[in-house]
Amino acid sequence: MSYVERFRMADDYIRHTNEIVGSIADPFIKQRYIGFVATSAVTAFELAIKDILLDFSYKKNKVFGAFVEDIYDNLNGRIRLGEIKDTHVRRFGNKYRKRFDKELEKTEKERLRSASRSIKSSYGNIITWRHSFVHEGIIAQNASYEEAVRAFEDGKEIIHVLNKVMVR
């Protein structure tokens, strides 16, 4: 399965909730949807990252692919930006980590210039909102539903960068 297909489930959910949230007048109720968007988004990110790393590994070597698949059987939320760079990408060699850093900085500058938003901050925020919601039952008070949706869209760029650099 292509990693971009992992986004479809969250995209479909967000499209559905956009219709509902748009008609909610009560900001307290509207705020509750942030946790659900963040949970869907981070799940899609986890699965996409795993797909990218497994696809890369199997293209290198069938045995290596099976080995990496065993390692990533339970990725379980270890997908903060620092973990992607310093753990996941680094496992495949410093060459890939340098590529990731370079491409990430290039993409970050482009998004800051075109939309005045940081994909790195957005990605970190949505992971934090999801963690607080799932593990502590806390709804993000410093964000709106619309910001959560934008953070998902911005966060996708981090995953696209990963896919771009994880090639032979």
Express as a percent the part of the chain with pLDDT over 70: 99
- Specify the pTM: 0.93
Q: What is the DSSP string of 14-74?
A: HHHHHHHHTT---HHHHHHHHHHHHHHHHHHHHHHHHHHHHHHHHHH-HHHHHHHHHHGGG
Query: 């999801």: which residue's tokens?
Result: 130
pLDDT band with cut points at 50, 70 and 90 for residue 168: confident
pLDDT tens-place string over residues 40-62? 999 999 999 999 999 999 999 99
pLDDT tens-place string over residues 104-130? 999 999 999 999 999 999 999 999 999
Rg (CA), the chain: 17
> Does position 145 have pLDDT exceeding 90, yes or no?
yes
Does residue 129 contact residue 137 with C-beta atoms inside 8 Å? no
pLDDT tens-place string over residues 67-88? 999 988 877 778 999 999 999 9
Per-residue pLDDT, averaged over 10-22, amounts to 94
